[in-house]
Amino acid sequence: MTDVFISYARSTVISARRIADALRALGYDVWRDDELPAHRAFTDVIEEQLKSAKAVVVVWSAEAVSSEWVQSEADQARVARKLVQLSIDGAKPPMPFDRIQCADLVGWEGDRGASGWRTVAASVAALLGHPTGSRAAGRHTSAIDRTHAICVLPFANMSGDAEQEYFSDGISEDIITDLSKVSALSVVARNTAFTFKGRAVDVRQVARELNVSHVLEGSVRKSGGRVRITAQLIDGAAGDHIWAERFDRDLTDIFALQDEISEAIVRALKLKLLPGERQAIERRGTKSPEAYELYLMARRQLAVSNYGDAHAIDAILRLCRRAIEIDPNYAIAWALTAVVETSHHLVKGSPDDGLAAAERALLLDADLAEAHAVLARHRFRQGRFEEASSEIEAALRLDPESYEVNQSAGLLCFRQRRLAEAARYYEKATALTEFAFGDPGMLLSCYIGIGDVEAARRAARTTLDRARRALAQDHVNGSALGFGVSALATLGEAEDAKEWIRRALLVDPDNMNMRYNMACALGGPLKDEGGALELLGAFFATAQKNDLNHAKIDPDLDPLRGHPSFRAMAAGAEARLAAEGGPGK
């Protein structure tokens, strides 16, 4: 069975060959039409290989855009949800492929450290996992994969305080990011590495499973103004320690300590940093450890926030704004501020909330993916759909592994009722964080909308598990209760779902996001039309334009759309907004 099928036009045969060679060097079995056998009809062979491939890489060019063959192959891959796109000469994919991420490989000559190639490799890996072809099995013939590949396991939080986990996770993520800047080193993506979080693992088994040569593990203990980090680099085959160290430092030295760990790993692997790579590793968004910690804390709180609770939003924004006060040039903190203000428009502020912060972030760092993603959401709200598409494509190209970017891409696809595409991005967002319950909750809605019952149940189980964890930390988290109700209803646990509804209305009755999600569950799997309409009454009475737009396309509300009361409430909300004037939120 072929891992990867390459689709291209004749004029780009050299580039297609280069791409195929690079993928083979990563251990994948790759097929392109220079391997056609002489004894069979070429159309039959192409169809067979196209169907069996787990990923289809389409090389767009001026000629490919007008090629019926390439478009046909791309469309089959799109329908099968295994399409990976790249442009070799700047040509944009034709419709409907222009709505899907396309990596920029203009001028690419085989540099495997180039950002465009990293995007392609990450997309193929997301579809296939580690290579499964004959080149990857047994002998692991790819030298770079075997000799220079590493998985950074999540560092254990040894602080004795679960609330400090945001800090140990942040350290792990930063080391992954730093090592990814070393072109000679293949690094397992963060979402894959974090699947091992909290598990007792056999390092050699991890290395075999991920096809890596080395594993880094460690722990973080933070107490007051001091931090202790232990780290061990382990040979994946033998299980031997190659390098180990313990660091006791002031918290103010945290950046220098991260640099020291990354550079020690590079030395232990006997790699040489190329010009600019050391500077890239040492480049931080801020020089302030205090601002950095506040950013990490805010990001973690946002993932489990009580969406719809103004007090919870205020607490996160205070953390962001304090980080910005400490360092006004901290671009990623400005971007996170924009994410919070934009995402929580329902509770606070005006429809332009977050726009100014996103623009400030881009002034400080024009390549900040999260800020482009926020800008995409605002352009979409403003009806500037082509600009929104360009911004989200830029965000995905700049950082396809960003949680905030995948979350925004999922939302924009959802708002266009492109549910299969939205599901792909929400799957990625769900994998990129262990705590957020909203992303698997949205994923649940996507799968219900496209009729994938088993996938919906899988998403429901993830949503429920995360909602329960959030409620263990904050038992009045109305947003977690609302998403939990949807999950319970999908899993057929009707009595528990109704009990959660009663509890939710007692502890957080004014949370409109919670009411909306519970109404979706009541109108759908719980089959309580009257209860759903009663909950939606308060939602429609306060909803803004953007909230109505969401309600118009949400598949969870499809069972209620024909009801006279639903139509009357929606029309009343439209009339209210028209009378109030302005664009609404």
Examine residue 348 and state whether it is found in any structural domain, yes or no: no
Same domain assignment for residues 118 and 160: no
Nearest in space to 46 (alpha carbons), one of 24, 20, 72, 12: 72
Same domain assignment for residues 441 and 552: yes
HSE-up of 343 (CA within 13 Å, CB side)? 28
What's the CA gap between 551 and 558, in Å, rounded?
A: 9
Per-residue pLDDT of the chain (585 residues; tens, 9 = 90+): 578 999 988 778 778 888 888 888 777 888 876 554 444 445 666 777 788 888 999 999 888 888 878 888 888 888 888 899 999 888 888 888 877 888 888 888 777 767 788 888 888 887 886 544 433 333 333 333 445 788 999 998 887 766 678 888 888 888 888 888 887 788 887 777 888 887 788 888 888 878 888 999 989 998 878 888 999 999 888 888 889 889 888 888 888 888 888 888 888 888 777 667 666 666 678 888 889 889 888 888 887 776 666 777 888 899 999 999 999 999 999 999 998 888 765 444 444 478 899 999 999 999 899 999 999 999 998 889 999 999 999 998 888 888 889 999 999 999 999 998 899 889 888 888 878 899 999 999 999 999 989 889 999 999 999 999 889 888 888 999 999 999 999 999 999 999 999 999 999 888 888 999 999 999 999 999 999 999 999 999 988 887 888 899 999 999 999 999 999 999 999 999 888 765 444
Q: What is the DSSP secondary structure assignment for residue 274, as one 8-state letter? A: P
- Neighbouring C-beta atoms of residue 246, cutoff 10 Å: 11
Examine residue 499 and state whether it is found in any structural domain, yes or no: yes
What's the CA gap between 184 and 103, in Å, rounded?
A: 21
CA distances from 12 to 46, 62, 340 (A): 18, 10, 44
Domain that holds residue 91: 4-128
Please give the full DSSP string across 418-456, using - where no structure is assigned: -HHHHHHHHHHHHHT-SS-SHHHHHHHHHHHHHT-HHHH
316 contacts: CB under 8 Å, gap ≥ 6: 298, 301, 302, 305, 340
Peptide bond into 96 cis (omega under 30): yes
Q: State residue 146's pLDDT score.
A: 42
Q: State residue 135's pLDDT score.
A: 37
Q: Quote the crossing angle between the two packed helices 438-450 and 453-473, to the nearest 10°.
A: 160
Same domain assignment for residues 154 and 123: no
Q: Virtual CA dihedral for 51, 52, 55, 59, nearest 10 degrees?
A: -60
Please give the full DSSP string across 385-413, using - where no structure is assigned: HHHHHHHHHHHHHH-TT-HHHHHHHHHHH
Q: State residue 147's pLDDT score.
A: 55
Examine residue 67 and state whether it is found in any structural domain, yes or no: yes
Taking the model in full, what pTM does it have?
0.66
How many angstroms separate the first and last alpha carbons of the chain?
Answer: 50
Say whether 125 sits in a helix, a strand or coil: helix
Question: Looking at this protein, which amino acid is placed at residue 444?
Answer: L
Q: Virtual CA dihedral for 346, 352, 358, 362, nearest 10 degrees?
A: 160
Q: State residue 559's pLDDT score.
A: 93
HSE-up of 549 (CA within 13 Å, CB side)? 17
Nearest in space to 97 (alpha carbons), one of 123, 65, 129, 120: 65
Domain CATH for 157? 3.40.50.10610
Strand positions, DSSP E, 155-240: 156-157, 186-187, 214-223, 226-235
What's the CA gap between 178 and 152, in Å, rounded?
A: 11
What's the CA gap between 428 and 413, in Å, rounded?
A: 14
Sign of CA dihedral 75, 78, 83, 89: positive
- 245 has which bridge partners? 231
What's the CA gap between 210 and 224, in Å, rounded?
A: 37
Structurally, how many domains does the chain consist of? 3
- 57 has which bridge partners? 6, 84
Q: State residue 532's pLDDT score.
A: 94
Say whether 93 sits in a helix, a strand or coil: coil
Same domain assignment for residues 93 and 192: no
Same domain assignment for residues 170 and 222: yes
Q: Quote the crossing angle between the two packed helices 310-326 and 331-343, to the nearest 10°.
A: 160
Same domain assignment for residues 444 and 576: yes
Residues in the chain: 585
End of a domain among 251, 284, 317? 284
CA distances from 572 to 350, 461, 538 (A): 21, 36, 12
Examine residue 303 and state whether it is found in any structural domain, yes or no: no
Q: Quote the crossing angle between the two packed helices 478-490 and 512-523, to the nearest 10°.
A: 10
Examine residue 166 and state whether it is found in any structural domain, yes or no: yes
- Mode of pairing for the β-strands spanning 149-152 and 226-235: unpaired
What's the CA gap between 487 and 494, in Å, rounded?
A: 10
137 phi/psi in degrees, rounded to 5: -80, 145
End of a domain among 128, 158, 193? 128
Same domain assignment for residues 172 and 118: no
Nearest in space to 211 (alpha carbons), one of 149, 268, 266, 270: 149
Examine residue 172 and state whether it is found in any structural domain, yes or no: yes
Domain CATH for 481? 1.25.40
Examine residue 135 and state whether it is found in any structural domain, yes or no: no
Examine residue 141 and state whether it is found in any structural domain, yes or no: no
Same domain assignment for residues 458 and 575: yes
Domain CATH for 26? 3.40.50.10140
CA distances from 479 to 82, 319, 351, 526 (A): 33, 21, 21, 19
Q: State residue 44's pLDDT score.
A: 62
Helix ranges restricted to H, 254-384: 254-268, 277-282, 289-303, 310-326, 331-343, 355-364, 369-381
Question: Looking at this protein, which amino acid is placed at residue 368?
Answer: L
CA distances from 107 to 12, 94, 114, 485 (A): 12, 21, 11, 51
Structural element, H or E, at residue 30: strand 30-31
Same domain assignment for residues 61 and 174: no
Q: Counting runs of H as helices and runs of E as strands, what totals does the chain give?
A: 27, 11
Structural element, H or E, at residue 250: strand 241-250
Q: Virtual CA dihedral for 458, 462, 465, 469, nearest 10 degrees?
A: 180
Q: Which two tokens stand for residue 408?
A: 């925004």
Same domain assignment for residues 161 and 278: yes
Nearest in space to 441 (alpha carbons), one of 514, 341, 336: 514
Say whether 226 sits in a helix, a strand or coil: strand
Q: Over 535-582, what HEC string results? A: HHHHHHHHCCHHHHHHHHHCHHHHHHCCCHHHHHHHHHHHHHHHHHCC
Same domain assignment for residues 98 and 198: no
